[in-house]
Amino acid sequence: MRVRTHFVRVAAALALAGGLAIGPPPAGADREGQGPATPAPPDTLAVQTPETLEFTPDSEETPPPRHGRRGERRYATEEEWLSTPFGERLLTEPDAWHVPHGHRGRLDMTIDYNRVDPLRLGMAGQVQDPSTMSPRLGGRVEYAMGRERLLYGIQLEQPLLPHGRLGFGVSMSRRTDHSELQQMDDIENSLMLLFARRDYRDYFEREGFGAYLAWRVPDFSVVSVHVRNDTYRSLALRGGTGSLFERDHALRDNPLIDEGDVHAVLLRLERQARHTRRTKAGLYHWIEVERAGRGLGGDFEYTRALADLRSVLRLSPTATLVLRAVAGSAAAGELPEQKRFMVGGVDGLRAHAFAEYRGDQMLLGQAEYMAGLWRPHARGFEPGMHVIAFVDAGRAWDNPRHGWDPRRQHLQFDGGFGLGNGDDLRVYVARNLQRPRSKAVLSVRLQRPF
């Protein structure tokens, strides 16, 4: 078996995380059991690498690589799928499940280093063949070393129509979770904590089970209805969580949540997009309406809506425009702390502090324009240096009357420039556009931020 580990990206992440000066850390106490800390100055250095190691058998039938000009290696089947990083991700959608040479399963290793577990190790696997009516099975088992806690997740889906167009599924899980709006992945966040002593997520434990019915409508969306019972628990900052550099800086505390049971029904629409190096484009979304309580039981009663729409547009062989629009609203009831919306930091408003704005309503818009500095190849994009210009706009706020009223809010605007190597290594410099004398904020990513 051969292991694909993306050594180049990992090496770049380690070098950048360990070698760049990134300003003061988030404020907070490095002690267990304290409440939320004051938002920190916007110091954002971020690196991102794939979260899993993929184990793939060698085969003599593997198609040979195609070579572009100047020795560039290209593969005939090279493509990826664009998707919003929401949900438990225990099962890959049938349209995105590409099984090489008839193999129906995959096994990955998972790793995460954060300020509450602090080290979490495990395995994740899937078995499925969307071309048949066989059940689709996904699972994950992990162990949080510091908490001495076994974590798990399992999802089973039975197709009811060919090619998985209609399916019924059940799931059960216990996991260290965080807000879906905090989208830095495990590996990127782990490197930040290990090398730069920054953790850009807030955590809680979620344990529960549920069932769903999913209808996969071609060229539109996956429409699904879910019924879930989940128990939420607060997690404390683990004292003594180590880092290799900046050890004298205190870690930001992990805030308390509203503990209790959430019994909810959810309507969800999710669309992924085929993203190839040739087309470099796609439109995809995640839309969810959640209703808790109101005859379902549980400790909370609310109605919450969240929509995340994204598009990648190829303007020319050397220019790409990436757009994102996010809107959230509490239509009824009072949201528990773990369900409130937040804006600010590496996930939006990149010149502001982490989660600087919080509330039961939110609006966020982001745009990035990327243009190649070198002449493009005849096939696809030039993998060389690119210049980037970007704008972030939005905020979160509270409205006791549950009215979504962005026109009455003082929206924040950030913008700046960057350099990048395609969709890989990127360096951004952001400033608050409403404060001309504001300090520039440096951030580094290994993939597009959205």
Residue 291: burial class (beta carbons within 10 Å; 0-12, 13-18, 19+): buried
Contact 46, 13 (CB under 8 A): no
Indicate if the pLDDT at residue 269 is higher than 60. Answer: yes
450 part of a folded domain: no
Q: Which pLDDT value is given to residue 85?
A: 87
395 part of a folded domain: yes
401 part of a folded domain: yes
314 part of a folded domain: yes
Q: Which pLDDT value is given to residue 223?
A: 98
Q: Which pLDDT value is given to residue 445?
A: 80
Indicate if the pLDDT at residue 30 is higher than 80. Answer: no
202 part of a folded domain: yes
In terms of residue numbers, what domain contains 393? 2-445
Beta partners for residue 285, in sequence order: 271, 309
More confident site: 312 or 5: 312
* Alpha carbons 10 and 52: distance in angstroms, whole number: 12
Residue 65 exposure: Cα atoms within 13 Å on the Cβ side = 7
Residue 281 exposure: Cα atoms within 13 Å on the Cβ side = 10
* Alpha carbons 29 and 250: distance in angstroms, whole number: 6
Q: What tokens appear for 72 in the block? A: 């560039």
Burial 258-288 (b: 16+ CB within 10 A, else e): beeebbbebebbbbbbebebeebbbebbbbb
Give the number of residues written for the chain: 450
First to last CA, the chain: 33
Q: How confident is the model over 351-374, as a mean pLDDT?
A: 93
Q: How confident is the model over 352-358, as a mean pLDDT?
A: 95
* Alpha carbons 394 and 365: distance in angstroms, whole number: 6
Chain-wide mean pLDDT for the chain?
82
Q: Which pLDDT value is given to residue 273?
A: 86
Q: Which pLDDT value is given to residue 105?
A: 92
Dihedral, CA of residue 104, residue 144, residue 343 and residue 187, to nearest 10? -60
pLDDT in tens, 91-145: 999 988 876 556 799 999 999 999 999 999 999 999 999 989 999 999 999 999 9
Of 89, 112, 114, 94, the closest CA to residue 104 belongs to: 94
* Alpha carbons 145 and 254: distance in angstroms, whole number: 18
Indicate if the pLDDT at residue 84 is higher than 70. Answer: yes
* Alpha carbons 412 and 364: distance in angstroms, whole number: 9
Q: How confident is the model over 64-78, as a mean pLDDT?
A: 39
Of 386, 436, 396, the closest CA to residue 415 belongs to: 436
217 part of a folded domain: yes
> At 48, phi and psi to the nearest 5?
-140, 135
The alpha carbon of 96 is separated from its chain's Cα centroid by a whole number of angstroms, namely 18
Indicate if the pLDDT at residue 37 is higher than 60. Answer: no
The DSSP code for 8 is H
Q: Which pLDDT value is given to residue 351?
A: 95
Q: Which pLDDT value is given to residue 2?
A: 36
More confident site: 41 or 84: 84
The pTM (predicted TM-score) of the whole model is 0.81
Beta partners for residue 362, in sequence order: 328, 396
Q: Which pLDDT value is given to residue 50?
A: 41
Indicate if the pLDDT at residue 414 is higher than 60. Answer: yes
78 part of a folded domain: yes
Q: Which pLDDT value is given to residue 327?
A: 97
Q: How confident is the model over 363-392, as a mean pLDDT?
A: 79
Q: Which pLDDT value is given to residue 383?
A: 60
Q: How many domains does the chain have?
A: 1
Q: How confident is the model over 160-183, as a mean pLDDT?
A: 95
**Phi-psi category of residue 427: left, alpha or beta, with phi > 0 → left and psi -120 to 50 → alpha:** beta
More confident site: 82 or 271: 271
Q: How confident is the model over 272-284, as a mean pLDDT?
A: 74
Tell me the pLDDT band of 281, cut-offs 50, 70 and 90. confident
The alpha carbon of 414 is separated from its chain's Cα centroid by a whole number of angstroms, namely 21
235 part of a folded domain: yes
Report the CATH number that the domain containing residue 293 is assigned in CATH.
2.40.160.50
Contact 167, 160 (CB under 8 A): yes
Of 403, 435, 356, the closest CA to residue 44 belongs to: 356
Which region among 69-73, 240-244, 252-256, 422-426 has the lowest average model confidence (pLDDT)?
A: 69-73
Which region among 55-59, 153-157, 309-313, 393-397 has the lowest average model confidence (pLDDT)?
A: 55-59
pLDDT over 90 percentage in the chain: 59
